[in-house]
Amino acid sequence: MESYFSVNQDLWNCWTKLHINSNFYNIESFRFGIDTLDPITKSTLCNVSGKSLLHLQCHLGLDTLSFARQGANVTGVDFSTESINFAQELAKELDIPATFIQSNLYDLPENLKANFDVIFTSNGVLNWLPNLEKWAEIVSHFLKPNGIFYIQDIHPFALLFNKEVSIDSLELSELYFRSIAPTYKIEQGSYALRSAPVESRSYQWFHRLDSIINSILKSGLRLISFEEYPFLTWQRYSFLEKRSDSMWGFPSNHEFFPLMFTIQANKN
């Protein structure tokens, strides 16, 4: 398992250097006060002002710092050294109070001794995790009684189709009921910069929706809400079109299949 994490960590360290200057993340706008939280998170998640918030798999820390601007006491965690270094530097530059910790998620109980009112994770996170039951146990471990856990991610169903075809010729490229064994992927560039002259090698895991929900329930958390959406925060498929709210949806507002989901749960 360590070899999988090592390969992925190297990849994210490489991607961080690309993402810092990419239009996808538009860090200059963030510097001028534009937060990075999407409209679904803003409308769904509770008011975080005055609350302690743990952001898992935070990458560059932009969402973490956006929550800090809303008054939360934030801690961001990521296994990429480059990502955490950048997040710390950005927080210092902008004088935003925040704590950032470099840690593999599964090692976090050894590296962090605190509990939180809110735990947040979003967008392209679960496919990097081999064991969801352990992940959910860690979430529960760090969540205070009556605390809120919020996850937003790409819908598993949206991972089944060939990304390179048109909306009129969608074809399945994956099976939904398949092994959770890691898939070794070699791709060009990154999701944020497809044209980058980088060969991206990674290990990723596919998790069905029932596995995601059941792992949360088995950890002792109580489901508050589960929602599905026909749009994403990024253009996974070339035929997706940018909406007025900056989300990416199907052409002509069709709703062919779910692209994203959110779950909120709390701890009794």
What are the percentages of helix, strand and coil residues in the chain, rounded to 5? 35, 25, 40
CB neighbour burial string for 211-229, b if at least 16 within 10 angstroms, e if fewer: ebbebbeebebeeeeeeeb
The tally of domains found in the chain comes to 1
Task: Assign 3-class secondary structure to 9-63.
Answer: HHHHHHHHHHHCCCCCCCHHHHHCCCCCCCHHHHHHCCCCCCCEEEEECCCCCHH
Instruction: Tell me what pLDDT residue 1 has.
Output: 66
pTM for the full model? 0.96
Burial grade of 244 (CB within 10 A; 0-12, 13-18, 19 or more): exposed
Q: pLDDT, tens digit, for every residue of 28-42?
A: 999 999 999 999 999
Percent of the chain with pLDDT over 70: 100
The pLDDT of residue 2 is above 80 = no
Sheet of strand 52-56: strand arrangement: 99-102, 73-78, 52-56, 116-122, 143-154, 260-266, 222-229
Q: pLDDT, tens digit, for every residue of 243-262?
A: 999 999 999 878 889 999 99
Instruction: Tell me what pLDDT residue 253 has.
Output: 74
Grade residue 268 by pLDDT with cuts at 50, 70 and 90. confident
Q: Check if the beta carbon of residue 165 is closer than 8 Å to that of residue 171.
A: yes
Domain that holds residue 197: 2-266
CATH number of the CATH domain containing 89: 3.40.50.150
Torsion of CA 230, 233, 238, 240, to 10 degrees: 40
Percent of the chain with pLDDT over 90: 86
